[in-house]
Amino acid sequence: MLRWFRFFSRWPLWALHALGWLGGWAAWLLSGRYRRRFLDNARQAGLGWRAVLGAVGQAGCMSAELPRLWLGRTPPLVWADDRAAAQAYAQGQGVLFLTPHMGCFEITAQALALRFGAQHGQLTVLYRPARLAALNEVMALARNRPGLQAVPTTLAGVRQMIKALRAGEAVGLLPDQVPPEGMGQWAPYFGKPAYTMTLAARLALQTGAKVVLIWGERLSWGRGYRLHTQPLGHDLSADLETAVVQINQAMEAMVLACPQQYLWGYARYKAPRKDA
């Protein structure tokens, strides 16, 4: 598998995105289950077909761009606004970056490491180990790079994140990822109960870290990515259950701002798995 990743990592970004776009539509046409979940999730958010049409191809782009992002040259990056991130770092209390399954969430970590790593220390990101050993080998090689450390979804990984935040460094999470059973709570997401991780809220409440919302917009024709950051806009409630709901609401607002790049096919409302 590593050989194939290296091969595609040399492709220009526009070619990978073109290939991914076709793959996204092929998955849509060939899988009725995927298509129904995609449309059901969009309708749950109050959106019609036209509002999410572009997300069909974008889902394929997300997969096809991984070889370039993991093993190839860093693609062109531009910051739409980095003030929220810079201001949060300046306070020295640690920064918790949150992004939904939207746009290119892989590039957000790399962009933050490049922009702020030298001055403010490395960014620690959480990842779920792949079931395929060969893919795990690629992920381990690609995700740990200067200014960036990837830790697994284990107790040891969580401890590393807490340590990083208390040292004034930054941590990155996807809070709309369904956690294992016992590591979340049922909370509304676009008005429907979804099993939601409590980790993001717990990290912020336990360490006093500043919460910043971030997402990487995938630009057309392989032109690279545009990074968007904004503050949460309010303090998280000291009550954990309420804080989890607040984070879900923040994710909803981000998704509705650019539904064409959200991963609507993600099984957001599935029951949690029993193993960690």
d(CA 11, CA 69): 11
- Which pLDDT tens digit goes with each residue over 222-271? 999 999 999 998 899 999 999 999 999 999 999 999 999 999 999 999 99
Looking at the domain assignment, is residue 238 inside a domain? yes
What is the token pair recorded at 154?
A: 């284990």
The alpha carbon of residue 5 and the mean position of all alpha carbons in its chain are separated, in whole angstroms, by 21
Whole-number Å distance between alpha carbons of 183 and 251: 19
Provide the pLDDT for residue 53: 96
For residue 45, is it within any domain?
no
Tokens 């449309």 sit on residue: 39
Between helix 32-44 and helix 13-30 the angle, nearest 10°, is: 100
pLDDT digits (tens, 9 = 90+) for 105-150: 999 999 999 999 999 999 999 877 666 666 666 666 666 677 888 8
224: left (phi over 0), alpha (psi -120 to 50) or beta: left
Q: How many CA atoms lie within 13 A of 267 on its CB side?
A: 7
- Number of domains making up the chain: 1
Does residue 80 sit within a domain?
yes
Cβ contacts of 142 within 8 Å, gap of 6 or more? 5, 69, 70, 71
Instruction: Report pLDDT digits (tens) over 34-61.
Output: 999 999 999 999 999 999 999 999 999 9
* Residue of 86, 246, 255 whose CA lies nearest to 170: 86
- Check pLDDT > 60 for residue 276: no
Nearest to 259 by CA among 70, 76, 95, 43: 43
Q: Look at residue 58 and tell me if it is in a domain.
A: no
Q: Are 274 and 195 in contact (CB under 8 A)?
A: no
Q: What is the pLDDT of residue 127?
A: 75
Q: Are 175 and 192 in contact (CB under 8 A)?
A: no
Task: Yes or no: say if 224 and 114 are a contact pair by the CB < 8 Å rule.
Answer: no
Q: What is the pLDDT of residue 63?
A: 94
- Amino acid 143: pLDDT: 63
Separation of first and last alpha carbons in the chain: 25
Q: Compute the half-sphere exposure of residue 156: CA atoms within 13 Å on the CB side of its CA.
A: 3
Instruction: Name 40's bridge partners.
Output: none
Host domain of residue 154: 76-259
The amino acid at 35:
R
Residue 180 lies in a domain: yes
Q: What percent of the chain has pLDDT over 70?
A: 93
Kindly tell me if the per-residue pLDDT of 273 is higher than 70: yes
Average pLDDT of the residues in 200-227: 96
Inside any domain, residue 55 = no
Prediction pTM value = 0.93
Which strand ranges, in their side-by-side order, compose the sheet holding 225-231?
A: 77-81, 225-231, 210-218, 95-98, 170-173, 123-127, 148-152
